[in-house]
Structure 1
Amino acid sequence: MDDTRKKEILEQLNKANKNTLGETLEIVYTDVSDDFLTATMPVNSRVHQPYGILHGGASCVLAETLGSCLSLINVDINKVVPVGTNINSNHLRAKREGVVTGTATFIRKGNTMHVSQIEIRDEKGNLINHTTMTNNIVPVGKV
């Protein structure tokens, strides 16, 4: 993927975040290639659970957002769309503040199903969350 296409995709994804949960959680797409998609999310009181640590649901939102968008940028949306059908998330380490970075990569990229893994890491590279996600790829109009 050339730099022009990379910049175009990141701009489109960040623009599409407007008025969504992604905007509410301040998710920002930062890097993309043919094989991965990366985004950041700040960790602060807005995404804490009552104990003052990153809420597992917020991690799941970041992971599902990345997995869905990785599929989206790898299909012809005039013909098919990805629809999330399964997510399995393991919360491995607590995070109180700072920024987490999620990276989605494909485990399987088929014609009718995509399976991705998403790793969410802190600023030191510690693994905070590991998620796998399945998207069915369905014809437009069948959703």
Structure 2
Amino acid sequence: MTPEKKAEILHQLNTWGGETLGKTLNIVFTEVTDDTLTATMPVTPKVHQPYGILHGGASCVLAETLGSCLSVLHVDIEKFAPVGTNINSNHLRSKKEGIVTGTARFIRKGNTMHVSEIEIRDEKDALINHTTMTNNIIAR
């Protein structure tokens, strides 16, 4: 993939959809390859649970955003829509502040189903969350 194509895809993803939950949580897509998609999310009180650590739901939002958008990049969105049907998220380590980075990659990329694995890591590369997600690919 050319640098120009990467920049175009990242721009499209970062400006797609108006006001969304991903934008509310300041999720920013930062890298795309033929097989992966990466985004960051700041960890601030805005995404904390009452104990002052990253809310598991916010991690799930980052993971699902990545898994869904990875599928979008691999279907003809004029004809098909990836819809999430299952998410399994394991919260492995807490995080109070800083930035987390999630990377999605396919476990299975079929014509009617995509299964993705999403790893969310902190600045020290510690694994914060591991998620698997299933998208059914349906006709529009």
With the shorter chain as reference, the TM-score category is: over 0.9
Counterpart position of 1:44: 44
Give the count of matched residue pairs. 140
Q: Secondary structure at the match of 2:23?
A: helix
Where does 1:53-132 land on structure 2 (aligned, <5 Å)? 53-132=53-132
Runs of 5+ unmatched residues, structure 1: none
Counterpart position of 2:4: 4
Distance 2:37 2:54 in 1: 22
Distance 1:67 1:17 in 2: 16
Counterpart position of 1:137: 137
**Alpha-carbon deviation of 1:17?**
5.2
Identity of aligned residues (%): 74
Q: 1:114 is matched by which residue type in structure 2?
A: H
Which digits, 9 at most, give the CA deviation of each residue in 1:92-115, with x for residues without a partner? 000000000000000000000000
119-128 vs 16-25, greater mean Cα deviation: 16-25
Consecutive aligned runs of 4 or more in structure 1 exceeding 6 Å deviation = none
Distance 1:74 1:33 in 2: 12
Q: 1:72 is matched by which residue type in structure 2?
A: V
Q: 2:62 is matched by which residue type in structure 1?
A: L
Runs of 5+ unmatched residues, structure 2: none
Q: CA RMSD in A?
A: 0.7
